[in-house]
Structure 1
């Protein structure tokens, strides 16, 4: 079985180059990656019926930040596993973003691929 186990990741990342690099690395690890340039685009994809297993999001993005994206998606899917990657972690850490029982991991940028894959696998319950 591949490391990503065929899971689909919705990634909201406003830095185009970072998104490209992450998407390619996650695809190499066996994930299917759907990319959105910001939180609003990711929310629109989800509302439009795009199927995904995990959310990978930046916090600081134009139009809609990661915190609001997590809240809006989890309003519909309270069990949605989330990995947050940010250069500006909240002072109270992942607890500030949690809002629910579903797993959430917080990674500080720059994010390396191995810990990112491990975090995605962990929130998906594959570890």
Structure 2
């Protein structure tokens, strides 16, 4: 988590770090500007997919980057991701995360 925050900040973004899904949901329920949710799929308690679903219910245009140690198929629903979503699997290169983030923020998520 700290590594992802460092990458985002090096790219010039303001990163809001949440320790778990519940803390992340509280951020999404707030008035803070959130351009992208970066979430690990395999979090204890509220997992990343549940957090993303709750986030999209609150913010329908929320862009989401899933990070997973599982096969990408574990995240992809019915063989595809919704617009504004992307997946990166562990292990990954930091520049790959940076590229996915840039594509999602720039609105090119379906090509991410």
TM range, smaller chain: 0.7 to 0.9
Does 2:82 match 1:107? Answer: no
What is the aligned-residue RMSD (CA, Å)? Answer: 2.0
The superposition leaves residues 76-127 of structure 1 with CA deviations (integer Å, 9 ceiling, x where unpaired) of 21111111111013536534584x4x31111001232111111111112266
Contact 2:28-2:58 within 8 A present in 1 as well: no
**1:36, CA displacement in angstroms?**
0.8
Partner of 2:103: 122
Residue-pair matches, total: 107
Which SS does the other structure have where 1:119 is aligned? helix
Structure 1, unmatched stretches of 5+, are: 1-18
TM-score, normalising length from structure 2? 0.82
The structure whose residues are more often helix, as a share, is 2
Aligned partner of 1:77 among 59, 62, 67: 59
TM-score, normalising length from structure 1? 0.73
Which SS does the other structure have where 1:36 is aligned? coil
**1:32, CA displacement in angstroms?**
1.0
Aligned partner of 2:3 among 21, 46, 61: 21
